[in-house]
């Protein structure tokens, strides 16, 4: 998941079955197996722990907490379908444990089964309405499936239980901003900043809200701060570049694209974006340098050659431009892109 709001916390480990005072045909054997499994999980030895808990399930097949412990291990190993099956088995044996439904929601959400995850989180909250993490996880899922009002309500429940939960404040602020409620979005994001001033994601979202409110100076101060805090975060630098391009802040956009290239010099899409920006700035020379990188890194992409031809033609380099156009034509033709072919032929006719 994008995952940062959607998680099983350490506080749930005990309730999910890693320590179990269970009754069985052989209590001593079961107790020993459970202690051994718990110790293995604590040390991160998930494969061995899974084998031990499978032995335990043979001793007591109807113990829901052993099933949930197996589900926890599968989830830690990224085996979410197996985890969901184990949690469902635990729920079949004990349908009144909110932690089992929460863990099922987590696994389903990680699988992309968002409606099932939402149902599991809601059932968890029916059984324990004061689990702030379940409210927040539900908010993330509802936002994902296109229910912003439900997500906003779930975030508000989270914040009522955890007023200093900055990630919930950030999530609420971003949803409010998308709904056009700029002032409330600013309030939520400013509250998040007061709790987590060094969070790049909060800073950039605050910057977007400030831009929407018309306060460009404070907006760019927040966005620049986000860039300083996350200089090696390609996703955030890309977001900064996109915001800067949309706001016609070309110097900031160029700096962000160059930072992305420094982090990953082999990503053709960055050179394409930077080349496009230079063409918008009527700087075909620098655009040419970037489009050449596109053709080098992505030699089967006709768009790179097409745009290289346009940049070369803008400098009067007609022979080189024609060679680039021919490469673009050949690639468009091989890919069955007739519209692309027509656009290149039109460019070739222009002088």
Report pLDDT digits (tens) over 243-301: 999 999 999 999 999 999 999 999 999 999 999 999 999 999 999 999 999 999 999 99
Q: What share of the chain is helix, strand, coil (3-state, %, to 5)?
A: 75, 0, 25
Residue 157 to residue 161: CA distance in whole angstroms: 6
pLDDT at residue 59 tops 60: yes
Contact 132, 161 (CB under 8 A): yes
For residue 201, count other CB atoms closer than 10 A to its CB: 21
Torsion angles phi and psi, residue 300, rounded to 5: -100, 10
Domains 1-162 and 282-351 share a fold: yes
The mean pLDDT of 7-35, rounded to a whole number, is 60
What's the whole-number average pLDDT of the chain? 92
Q: Which CATH number applies to 1-162?
A: 1.25.40.10
Q: Above 60 in pLDDT, residue 131?
A: yes
Section 86-111 average pLDDT: 98
Place of tokens 């907006």: 219
C-alpha dist (Å) from residue 118 to 43, 115, 131, 222, 257: 32, 5, 15, 34, 38
22 — pLDDT class (breaks 50, 70, 90) = very low
Q: What pLDDT score was predicted for residue 246?
A: 95
Assessment of whether the complete model's pTM goes beyond 0.75: yes
Q: Give 282-351's CATH code, choosing from 3.90.180.10, 3.40.50.10490, 1.10.3720.10, 1.25.40.10.
A: 1.25.40.10
Residues 6+ apart with CB under 8 A from 217: none
Write out the H or E segment, with its range, that includes residue 320.
helix 318-334
For the chain, give every domain's residue range: 1-162, 282-351
């Amino acid at each position: 998941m994008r995952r940062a709001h959607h998680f099983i916390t350490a506080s749930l480990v005990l309730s999910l079955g890693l320590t179990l005072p269970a009754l069985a045909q052989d209590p001593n054997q079961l107790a020993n197996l459970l202690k051994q499994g718990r110790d293995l999980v604590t040390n991160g030895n998930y494969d061995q722990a899974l084998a031990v808990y499978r032995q335990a399930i043979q001793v007591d097949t109807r113990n829901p907490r052993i099933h949930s412990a197996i589900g926890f291990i599968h989830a830690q190993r990224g085996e979410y379908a197996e985890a969901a099956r184990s949690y469902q088995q635990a729920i079949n044996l004990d349908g009144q444990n909110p932690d089992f439904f929460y863990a099922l929601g987590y696994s389903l959400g990680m699988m992309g089964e968002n409606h099932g995850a939402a149902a599991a989180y809601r059932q968890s909250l029916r059984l324990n309405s004061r689990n702030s993490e379940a409210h927040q996880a539900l908010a993330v899922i509802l936002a994902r499936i296109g229910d912003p009002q439900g997500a906003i309500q779930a975030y508000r429940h989270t914040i009522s239980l955890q007023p200093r939960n900055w990630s919930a404040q950030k999530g609420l602020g971003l949803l409010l901003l998308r709904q056009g409620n700029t002032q409330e979005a600013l309030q939520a994001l400013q509250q998040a900043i007061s709790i987590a001033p060094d969070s790049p994601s909060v800073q950039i979202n605050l910057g977007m809200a400030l831009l929407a409110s018309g306060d460009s100076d404070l907006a760019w101060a927040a966005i620049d701060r986000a860039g300083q805090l996350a200089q090696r975060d390609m996703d955030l630098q890309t977001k900064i570049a996109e915001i800067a391009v949309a706001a016609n802040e070309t110097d900031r956009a160029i700096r962000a694209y160059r930072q992305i290239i420094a982090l990953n010099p082999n990503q053709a899409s960055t050179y394409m974006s930077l080349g496009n920006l230079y063409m918008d700035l009527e700087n075909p020379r620098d655009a040419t340098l970037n489009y050449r990188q596109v053709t080098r890194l992505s030699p089967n992409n006709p768009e790179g050659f097409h745009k290289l031809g346009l940049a070369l033609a803008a400098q009067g380099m007609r022979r080189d431009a024609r060679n680039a156009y021919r490469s673009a034509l050949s690639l468009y033709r091989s890919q069955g892109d007739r519209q692309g072919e027509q656009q290149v032929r039109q460019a070739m006719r222009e002088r």
